[in-house]
Structure 1
Amino acid sequence: MVGSTMTLSEQMAALDRLVKRIDEISSLPDIAMRVIEVVSSPDSAVADLRLIVESDPALVARILRTANSSAYGLSTRVDSIHRAIALLGFNAVKDLAITASIAQIFKDKTNIGTYNRASLWKHLVCVAVASRMIASRSGIQEFDEAYMCGLLHDIGIVLMDQHNHKGFLEVVAALSVDEPTLVTERRILGFDHTQLGSEVSQRWGFPTSVLQTIKYHHDTSRCDAEVRPIAQAVEVANFFCTKKNITAMGLMNVPAPAGETFAALSIGRNELKVLFQDLDAELEKSRDLYEI
């Protein structure tokens, strides 16, 4: 039964069954869940993150390899998490930790039509970097949250790929530049990746800013007022990266954000042009992050 012939209750039941199946096996690595928990808590300290990261030697190795790459341009070699925090700062290491802990689920490079998981990973990292840049320049006080929100905004796509692969293949085969991906997903599955990602993330205890960004990054007017600026930064970042052909599903079919979104972020025509140009340099500096 395709999504377009399902009743609303049947669509919600299909989504609920998939969410429960994913929740039972927990798709994200345990270390990633623990990193997300600690970086999301305002009460967490540097020592809390160090304790979690240092419990996983492979994660430590990935963080240190990236910290010593050209992305950070350090003249002194980083040989420990403590040293990384001292030289790069807590926020930079926090972003490195969450990126490195999630990266492993995207290592499958199998191509499916216009989609492959490695390209989705590059898209997520680039949107994360762009989200932080846009949020910072727009004067959003919590701009550091934008990185994690951007990194996780399309988590529903990889969950579809992993846990509803047959349906996902049908979606990929039907993708078109003439139809937004969300519409294709709903037509075939009865739900879309924003619904799936937000439902699963709620069960995993993700913070409100991440939940609402996952759910509404294609229509941020629906976000609660207190988290809307971060989600708007992600929406614009998603559009920018897609326009640069750094796409989630291999197609440039993401609609432009509403004019109100750009206005809320104080992005006028001149600022828009500068941001779009500056993003290239920012992404180039961050190349090692999506190769982590």
Structure 2
Amino acid sequence: MMNELQSKMLVCYIGEERNMGRLLEERLSAIGVQFMLVVDPASGVRIAQQYKPKVIIVDERVGRYESINVISTIRRILSKNETGIIWHASGVTASKVIDAHKAGANSILTRPMTMPSLVSRINELFKPSPGINFSREDSLENKTAEDTQKKLSKVQNLNAVPYVVEKVLNITGDSDSSAKDLEQVIETDPKVSAVILKRANSAFYTSVRQIGRILDAVARIGFREVRALILGLSVIDLFPRDQKTLSFDRVQFWISCLSTAVIAQTLAEVDKEIDPDDAFIAGLLHDLGRMILDEHFPDEFSRALSISERFRISLSDAEKKVFGMNHQDIGKIVLENWKFPKELQSVVGKHENLEEINKIEDPKERKLAQIVWAGEWITLLLGVGTSGERLINYPMPDQISGFNFWPAVLDKEFENKAMFRLDDLLSFIGADTSRTPRKLQGETAVSKAVVYEESNLPMGPLAYLFENAQFEVKRAESIKDIGPVEPNVIAAIEFISFDSLRTSLQYLPAGRQPLLIVVPKGELPYDDKVKERAGLPIQKTIYLEKPFHCNELMQAIEKLMDFLN
């Protein structure tokens, strides 16, 4: 039964994203919460003054206005006791957090927004009485695999491959075909033609001579890369840009897929056994099934996202629970319908579970799947875009023992090279890169950090993240091994016991009390009292549970920087 507070609650969203507002209205109205969408910040301030909403969500995207200024203006009108303000933002740094709180925000909600996280923030504002009881998704029934396949079979564009894709696959699969054949197909689609010419004349292909013929563009870019571009763009164009699920950002989803594609392509160049452009296509399409779920099963997909977040299980497992199959199964079915090459079907159908990947019999398919898995894993660890998946499982040594490309994964220079390529590609397609990849900014009092480990976790992606935040990174199995560094922050990743950590910390200079991020190897109590009893010379400790998302590590560092500032 709806409580009295909920029946009177008015939530106001101030921001430019009308689709986000529409989805919020749909979800909140379904549980009896009044909702107002305001695009213009000045109107939002007037509405705040007139209606005094219980909750105001201020999006960072508010046109020419600074969202922090909007928060500050509203707070001068309404006290914290009257109205709770939630700042909805991305790429949140410690300095931004401080500015938002100084302006009067009660809470910060990072992208992508999920209903459980929004409800949690609202309820925090009204403790001890909950503001909202959100149970709509719990009332939905699970589907069987047969139900899901039956609905998919009725979707016309999932049963027939796009014309240009079919022709390109036929031409590039025929050893007797030429660039002239490819030119004739490209010229039938003005949009594809424009993209190919734009790419050929981009800064990535450094040349002073501008070209205007498709044949010349194919010669400059390369036969197989043109194929990869056409297949990728044609599939992306099948889906509208606007999301249908509140917590699933389609733009960031495709950025995540592009990142996986670029990293897989770069790894294939290191490996030398797989065609880099095949790796690019496989990486781009690996999560195709997830986009299909958002497009055709938005309510059920929203439920899977919520289950994944609430119970800390993988999104694939949550999909299986809700749909009777997961996005890998769906992606494979669609690529089979589209008559894509068998190895691509196989990789899309098996790209997440290393145990299954390593059992693939065909050596080429197995290697391609391993490379795509690594591309997706690094993308998740770096927090580039968002695929909907929030957890990262670290591989066991025996699972990656046969990966001859693995040394590249451990090298931060590899990440730099791959991210340069990704930035170029995102710039080329005009994507919003302001929050991609997920990095901290160097606006902080923390100048040095040590990553202390008792396990052999890959340092390449972690070093990339830390160093882009202007941290000095040292890898050591004991504090005594780090040399003349006096760290402000220590990330103790997979340490074994407080005893071992205490023994290591005794080598710190006298009086030095750094901040600590703890990722325990086993089951350990997560509270500061344990730290005090262990006698650790630490100012503050933040605990993370495995498996954890890179964003959680970044948020932990931000909290520590907030503490320092």
What is the aligned counterpart of 2:289 among 156, 165, 170? 156
Q: Distance in 2 between matches of 1:51 and 1:200?
A: 27
1:244 corresponding residue in structure 2? 382
More displaced 10-residue stretch of structure 1: 246-255 or 71-80: 246-255
Unaligned runs of 5+ in 2: 1-139, 432-565
C-alpha deviation, 1:75, in angstroms: 2.3
AA aligned opposite 1:229 = K
Q: Would the alpha carbon gap of residues 270 and 68 (structure 1) be closer, same or farther in structure 2, given more than 3 Å must change?
A: closer
* Residues 22 and 200, structure 1, Cα contact 8 Å, conserved in 2: no
1:228 corresponding residue in structure 2? 366
2:149 corresponding residue in structure 1? 16
Identity across aligned pairs (percent)?
20
Normalized per residue, which structure has more helix? 1
Normalized per residue, which structure has more strand? 2
* Residues 239 and 257, structure 1, Cα contact 8 Å, conserved in 2: no
* Residues 132 and 147, structure 1, Cα contact 8 Å, conserved in 2: yes
The 5 A counterparts of 1:73-88 are: 73-88=206-221
Given the alignment of the two structures, is residue 195 of structure 1 paired with residue 336 of structure 2, yes or no? no
Number of residue-to-residue matches in the alignment? 286
Normalised by the length of structure 2, the TM-score is 0.46
* Residues 71 and 288, structure 1, Cα contact 8 Å, conserved in 2: no
Unaligned runs of 5+ in 1: none
AA aligned opposite 1:32 = V
- Describe the superposition over 1:85-104 as per-residue Cα deviations: whole angstroms up to 9, x where unpaired: 22222223222222332332
C-alpha deviation, 1:159, in angstroms: 1.3
Q: Would the alpha carbon gap of residues 202 and 27 (structure 1) be closer, same or farther in structure 2, given more than 3 Å must change?
A: closer
2:179 corresponding residue in structure 1? 46
2:480 corresponding residue in structure 1? none
* Residues 36 and 206, structure 1, Cα contact 8 Å, conserved in 2: yes
What is the aligned counterpart of 1:285 among 424, 427, 430? 424
Q: Distance in 2 between matches of 1:156 and 1:40?
A: 24
* Residues 161 and 337, structure 2, Cα contact 8 Å, conserved in 1: no
C-alpha deviation, 1:148, in angstroms: 1.1
Q: Distance in 2 between matches of 1:251 and 1:113?
A: 15
1:255 corresponding residue in structure 2? 393
SS of the counterpart of 1:76?
Answer: coil
Q: Distance in 1 between matches of 2:399 and 2:171?
A: 30
AA aligned opposite 1:265 = F
C-alpha deviation, 1:287, in angstroms: 2.3
Q: Would the alpha carbon gap of residues 16 and 109 (structure 1) be closer, same or farther in structure 2, given more than 3 Å must change?
A: closer
1:186 corresponding residue in structure 2? 320
AA aligned opposite 1:186 = K
- Describe the superposition over 1:86-133 as per-residue Cα deviations: whole angstroms up to 9, x where unpaired: 222222322222233233235514373331111111111221111111
SS of the counterpart of 1:213?
Answer: helix
Q: Would the alpha carbon gap of residues 239 and 44 (structure 1) be closer, same or farther in structure 2, given more than 3 Å must change?
A: farther
* Residues 245 and 299, structure 2, Cα contact 8 Å, conserved in 1: no
More displaced 10-residue stretch of structure 1: 140-149 or 226-235: 140-149
AA aligned opposite 1:191 = M
- Stretches of 4+ aligned residues off by more than 6 angstroms: none
Normalised by the length of structure 1, the TM-score is 0.85
The 5 A counterparts of 1:95-134 are: 95-110=228-243, 112-134=245-267
- Describe the superposition over 1:194-239 as per-residue Cα deviations: whole angstroms up to 9, x where unpaired: 0111112112211111101101001222433231111111100011
The alignment yields a C-alpha RMSD, in angstroms, of: 2.7
More displaced 10-residue stretch of structure 1: 80-89 or 104-113: 104-113
AA aligned opposite 2:155 = I
Q: Distance in 2 between matches of 1:64 and 1:209?
A: 29
Q: Would the alpha carbon gap of residues 271 and 192 (structure 1) be closer, same or farther in structure 2, given more than 3 Å must change?
A: closer
Q: Would the alpha carbon gap of residues 110 and 159 (structure 1) be closer, same or farther in structure 2, given more than 3 Å must change?
A: closer
What is the aligned counterpart of 1:214 among 344, 348, 359? 348
- Describe the superposition over 1:225-256 as per-residue Cα deviations: whole angstroms up to 9, x where unpaired: 23111111110001111112124434432433
AA aligned opposite 2:425 = S
C-alpha deviation, 1:147, in angstroms: 1.2
More displaced 10-residue stretch of structure 1: 207-216 or 31-40: 31-40
Given the alignment of the two structures, is residue 34 of structure 1 paired with residue 167 of structure 2, yes or no? yes
1:205 corresponding residue in structure 2? 339
Q: Distance in 2 between matches of 1:27 and 1:257?
A: 37
